[in-house]
Amino acid sequence: MAGVRLELAADGATATVTLCRPERRNAQSPAMWRALAAIGRSLPGSVRVVLLRAEGVSFSAGLDRAAFTPEGIPGELPLVEIVKGDQGDSVIAGYQEAFTWWRRPDLLSIAAVQGHAVGAGFQLALGCDLRVCADDVRFAMRETSLGLVPDLAGTKPLVDLVGPARALEICGTGRWVGAEEAVRIGLANVSVPAAELDAAAADLAAALLAAPRDALVETKALLQGASGRSYEEQCAAERAAQLRRLRDLAGLGE
């Protein structure tokens, strides 16, 4: 992908996406977002688990700061131009695609996060189903301090993970959230020494792959939809999902 520092490696049921701009702490740009979205569209159907990782000391320091200059990022639409005319909504929707496909029902995604995960970097980690963090991780949502809001599909998963009050405090203050707190409040699944980060993410991927694909797809759908259902509706959804699984296991199809 010309001009974009990303790598995609597919190995059977597992794909690994790597951010490869360590000298800039994996700062992001619209070109990177387009490339990430293209990866999501092109993944082989055999892929069940996607690992997201980054080279260097930081996962991602967020949007390239050049975006906030009058000139903007070379070759990209300056931020001030986005609000002109009626194109703004579609432009931001296009950006969001890079952050939303990780939660597709047919995939399980794991972010391996080290060092800084700020703004767009935080939201990219939130885009994944699960987060394995190094003990040096530092999350922060800094958009509010710039007079903006988090708009890369990160607010919903953040609220789902930590609740609206904690999410408001994290976003409103822009403060750092370290590894210990991230695990304690449900933002991260586990924290490990930095040297063990890739191995821990790979171990989690292997554990997920040990279960039958269709059972995991059904379970993910049940859990993702639970917050929007009443208790009775969730019980009904469980029954319907289980009957589909039993029919499949019995060879009866639909």
In the chain, domain spans: 6-209, 213-249
**Model confidence at 70, in pLDDT bands (50, 70, 90)?**
confident
- This prediction has a pTM of 0.94
- Picking from 72-76, 120-124, 219-223, which range would have the lowest pLDDT averaged per residue? 72-76
The region that residue 186 occupies, defined by phi over 0 for left and psi between -120 and 50 for alpha, beta otherwise, is left
- Lateral strand order in the sheet of 116-118: 116-118, 138-140, 177-178
3-state secondary structure of 115: coil
Give pLDDT, residue 1: 43
Q: Mean per-residue pLDDT for 241-254?
A: 89
* 14 contacts: CB under 8 Å, gap ≥ 6: 47, 48, 49, 50, 51, 205, 209
| Per-residue pLDDT reduced to its tens digit, 79-104 | 777 877 788 899 999 999 999 999 99
Q: What is the pLDDT of residues 137-150, one digit of tens each?
A: 999 999 999 999 99
Average pLDDT over residues 28-32: 94
- Predicted confidence at residue 2, as pLDDT, reads 41
User: Are 209 and 13 spatial neighbours (Cβ–Cβ below 8 Å)?
Assistant: yes
**pLDDT(68) > 90:** no
Residues 6+ apart with CB under 8 A from 203: none
State mean pLDDT over 31-45: 96
Q: Measured between alpha carbons, how far is 39 from 222 in angstroms, rounded to an integer?
A: 26
Helices (H), 43-162: 79-82, 88-100, 120-127, 155-162
Confidence (pLDDT) at 4? 77
Rg (Cα) of the chain, in Å, rounded? 19
Q: What's the full length of the chain, in residues?
A: 254
More confident residue, 222 or 68: 222
Least confident of 1-5, 66-70, 178-182: 1-5
Model pLDDT for residues 167-216, shown as the tens digit of each residue: 999 999 999 999 999 999 999 999 999 999 999 999 999 999 999 999 99
- Residue 254: the pLDDT is 59
Domain 6-209 top-level CATH class: alpha beta
How distant is the alpha carbon of residue 54 from its chain centre? Answer: 13
Mean residue pLDDT across the chain: 94
- Which residues are CB-contacts of 254 (< 8 A; sequence separation ≥ 6)? 244, 247
